[in-house]
């Protein structure tokens, strides 16, 4: 089976996610403006292709100032207006993927993902790279959940990532997706279900799921379900940048709750989750998670800087590696010359030995072997918000 066909098999399964857990979504791609929402003004755009943590922190402060951003509410619409204004200010075209969610006990609620595609520089690049993050906050009835870390930090990172990549694009087209309804209710991940359509249509090579990256005490561990080679590439990048303390490889593994798990269970394996699931404490989910303490007091610009640099440089490393792999796979097989002399009569030439480049091809087919001491997906589950351990 070819590389392209193997990717297609996984994406065929993912396409079925538009109907899940009794929630029916009618999908359509729109380019129109969002619903009326309070005016928001993104910060002035800086120059340069490095990740600017000051810009990211300003985005985070603006999002938190909008208050709770629950799916279907005014805050969510305001957040989309803010994201749209920044991305369009960069000269990028913003797409909306919309759906309708039937909550049974109320009128249907609109679900709206925003995405932007930053073109790649290589004319022969195959497929896209994608980065997704929740834009919404969870529903909290008894207090104001601002979602500085959950729903805010990943969105702030992607907004600054868009600016940096627009200045210096990757070889591959890069799609940034802001997910609505992703943290609305534990385990359902409505935003990633809607985004699955884009992954299917655009032949994604990799989806990076960025979530909860603003904790002032940042510690992102290796996710057990993530594609091993892609995941480890980000951690190697972190070590190269001097950020091993925030991306430790000696601390064991996490099973990060998130929409990437849903994709994994439906056959789309080329996913990587980067998330600190210990927000305020040493055990997940942490004392600040989904409480009134998820505010600007417990996130930091320094953490955004570390996470942003690792994501940006990690994507650059992976894109460069995929280019080498693709170049190798497209290299023509040399013709085998017939041997002179009688020994060639009645014999067939041996086919050249097939070689495999380094263990990364973007097909989503995980290696059968595991790193030394690494448990296989599903064999160990940590205590975490929304247990989504694989069932297969």
* Domain that residue 172 falls in: 3-329
Select the more confidently predicted residue: 199 or 120: 120
Q: What is the CATH number of the domain that holds 304?
A: 3.40.630.10
pLDDT bin (cut points 50, 70, 90) of residue 106 is confident
Give the separation between CA 270 and CA 224, rounded to whole angstroms: 13
Give the separation between CA 201 and CA 197, rounded to whole angstroms: 6
Domain-embedded: residue 379: no
User: How high is the pLDDT of residue 227?
Assistant: 97
Domain-embedded: residue 316: yes
- CB-count exposure of residue 66 (10 Å: 0-12, 13-18, 19+): buried
Return all residues near 378 (Cβ < 8 A) that are at least 6 apart. 224, 389, 390, 392
pLDDT bin (cut points 50, 70, 90) of residue 27 is very low
Peptide bond into 282 cis (omega under 30): no
Domain-embedded: residue 185: yes
Q: Is the pLDDT of residue 356 over 70?
A: no
Number of domains in the chain: 1
Domain-embedded: residue 240: yes
Domain-embedded: residue 141: yes
Per-residue pLDDT tens over the stretch 177-213: 999 999 988 778 999 999 997 787 888 999 999 999 9
Domain-embedded: residue 40: yes
User: How high is the pLDDT of residue 25?
Assistant: 43
DSSP letter assigned to residue 215: B
Q: Report the mean per-residue pLDDT for the chain.
A: 80
Domain-embedded: residue 355: no
Give the separation between CA 254 and CA 336, rounded to whole angstroms: 50
Q: Is the pLDDT of residue 264 over 70?
A: yes
User: How high is the pLDDT of residue 102?
Assistant: 85
Q: Is the pLDDT of residue 223 over 90?
A: yes
Tokens of 85: 């204004």
Select the more confidently predicted residue: 267 or 169: 169
Give the separation between CA 39 and CA 34, rounded to whole angstroms: 12
Q: Is the pLDDT of residue 315 over 50?
A: yes
Q: Is the pLDDT of residue 73 over 80?
A: yes
User: How high is the pLDDT of residue 164?
Assistant: 97
pLDDT bin (cut points 50, 70, 90) of residue 38 is very low
Q: Is the pLDDT of residue 30 over 90?
A: no
User: Looking at 89-98, 115-124, 353-362, 377-386, which range is the least confident one?
Assistant: 377-386
User: Looking at 1-10, 37-46, 85-94, 289-298, which range is the least confident one?
Assistant: 1-10
Domain-embedded: residue 123: yes
Q: Is the pLDDT of residue 152 over 80?
A: yes
């Amino acid at each position: 089976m070819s590389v392209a066909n193997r990717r297609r098999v996984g994406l065929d399964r993912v396409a079925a996610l538009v109907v899940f857990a009794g929630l029916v979504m009618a999908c359509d791609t729109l380019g129109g403006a969002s619903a009326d929402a309070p005016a928001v003004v993104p910060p002035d755009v800086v120059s340069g292709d490095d990740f600017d943590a000051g810009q990211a922190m300003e985005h985070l402060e603006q999002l938190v100032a909008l208050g709770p951003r629950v799916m279907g509410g005014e805050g969510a619409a305001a957040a989309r207006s803010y994201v749209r204004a920044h991305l369009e200010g960069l000269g990028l075209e913003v797409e909306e993927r919309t759906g309708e969610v039937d909550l049974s006990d109320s009128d249907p609620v609109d679900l709206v993902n925003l995405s932007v595609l930053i073109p790649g520089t290589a004319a022969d690049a195959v497929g896209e790279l994608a980065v997704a993050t929740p834009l919404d906050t969870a529903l909290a009835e008894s207090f104001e959940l601002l979602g500085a870390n959950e729903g805010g930090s990943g969105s702030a990172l992607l907004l600054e990532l868009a600016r940096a990549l627009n200045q210096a694009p990757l070889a591959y087209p890069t799609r940034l997706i802001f997910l609505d309804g992703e943290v609305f209710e534990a385990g359902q991940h409505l935003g990633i279900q809607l985004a699955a359509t884009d992954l299917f249509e655009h032949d994604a090579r990799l989806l990076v799921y960025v979530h909860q990256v603003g904790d002032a005490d940042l510690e992102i561990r290796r996710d057990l379900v993530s594609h091993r080679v892609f995941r480890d590439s980000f951690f190697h990048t972190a070590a190269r940048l001097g950020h091993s303390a925030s991306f430790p490889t000696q601390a064991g593994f996490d099973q990060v709750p998130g929409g990437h798990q849903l994709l994994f269970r439906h056959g789309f394996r080329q996913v990587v989750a980067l998330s600190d699931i210990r927000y305020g404490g040493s055990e997940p989910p942490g004392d600040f998670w989904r409480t009134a303490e998820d505010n600007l007091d417990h996130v930091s610009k320094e953490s955004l800087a570390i996470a942003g640099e690792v994501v940006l440089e990690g994507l650059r490393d992976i894109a460069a590696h995929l280019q080498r792999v693709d170049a190798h796979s497209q290299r023509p097989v040399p013709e085998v010359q017939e041997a002179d002399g009688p020994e060639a009569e009645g014999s067939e030439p041996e086919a050249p030995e097939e070689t495999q480049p380094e263990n990364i091809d973007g097909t989503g087919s995980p290696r059968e072997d595991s790193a030394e001491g690494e448990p296989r997906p599903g064999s160990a589950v940590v205590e975490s918000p929304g247990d989504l351990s694989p069932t297969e």
